[in-house]
Amino acid sequence: MKTIKGPAIFLAQFAGDEAPFDSLPSIARWAAGHGYKGVQIPSWDGRLFDLARAAESKAYCDEVKGICAEAGVEITELSTHLQGQLVAVHPAYDAAFDGFAAPEVRGNPKARQEWAVDQLMKAARASANLGLTAHATFSGALAWPFVYPWPQRPAGLIETAFDELARRWRPILDAFDKAGVDLCYEIHPGEDLFDGATFEMFLERVDGHPRCNILYDPSHFVLQQLDYLGYIDVYHPRIKMFHVKDAEFNPSPRQGVYSGYKPWVERAGRFRSLGDGQVDFGGIFSKLTQYGFDGWAVLEWECALKHPEQGAAEGAEFISHHIIQTTEKAFDDFAGTGTDQAANRRMLGIG
């Protein structure tokens, strides 16, 4: 067993145009001031990080690591959630996702996809230059508009979608393998990889690629009513990253999983600050520790009710409280008899 590292914080939801959220030095100091030991950096946010430069310059990456170290934190991972989303976009979502891309490729789905793939390739090299071993992203989605089987899906539709998704991602996975970095897909509604079954469909099509792994976030499983503790039992060999995010599901006569198109604050399923929702984090940290997860416990803050500053301030202590310092000896060692193999054989009557 190994002790989970943390607490850390994903900076995407906090970055902004005002201090201390407008530069890496100041936001890193802010995170450290709240008790965080690590920061997960959104690679698309130029206020904090230059992905293109990091992909080509080890000196720049050393500078970035130095900035974080001086503030009292280390970099846990980079994220390409927005770019990964654009590796596969169904035409129904062209307009909605176009803003994720660089201005010069907006309105051009082919150029946008090529840009997204290039961003992932850069992220692989940047992660290696930073000495990181895991990377966070989204899979994108071709089949998501057909998630509910009405109208009846034509035979082979989903298989074709996953074949194409795997074709697009295979070269990226190979690039991350060359860089020595695990590519971790956040299992998330809106992506084609949104539960265990869909991850398995994709994993099969990339031939069980060793760099095809999981960013585990239980909040998305609460909203789907999926067994998030059992998920760890099944998929722990592929879980290489962990977002610590809370959620709640409160069904009513008027709402269920789909939540009636309501805004987040009125939905039956909604994200909450740590400790305010229904996620059994004691169970999660126990299982991850049991299976030897030695990555970072990273707060991803999203809540429809609480102010982000309060959520961030409470999150570090919450995570620290749940991290299990693994034991180096068995609790009943005091009663050990120090028997040897010969004594064992005598006890079994086979001496």
Compute the mean pLDDT over every residue in the chain, rounded to the nearest whole number: 96
Residue 260 has pLDDT above 80, yes or no: yes
pLDDT, tens digit, 9 for 90 and up, residues 172-226:
999 999 999 999 999 999 999 999 999 999 999 999 999 999 999 999 999 999 9
Beta strand ranges found along the chain (DSSP E): 5-10, 38-42, 74-80, 134-137, 182-186, 212-216, 239-244, 246-249, 269-272, 296-299
Domain count, the chain: 1
pLDDT, tens digit, 9 for 90 and up, residues 290-328:
999 999 999 999 999 999 999 999 999 999 999 999 877
Report the percentage of the chain scoring pLDDT > 70.
Answer: 98
Residue 331 has pLDDT above 70, yes or no: no
- In angstroms, the CA 188 to CA 138 distance is 8
Q: What is the CATH number of the domain that holds 310?
A: 3.20.20.150
Range of the domain at 273: 5-347
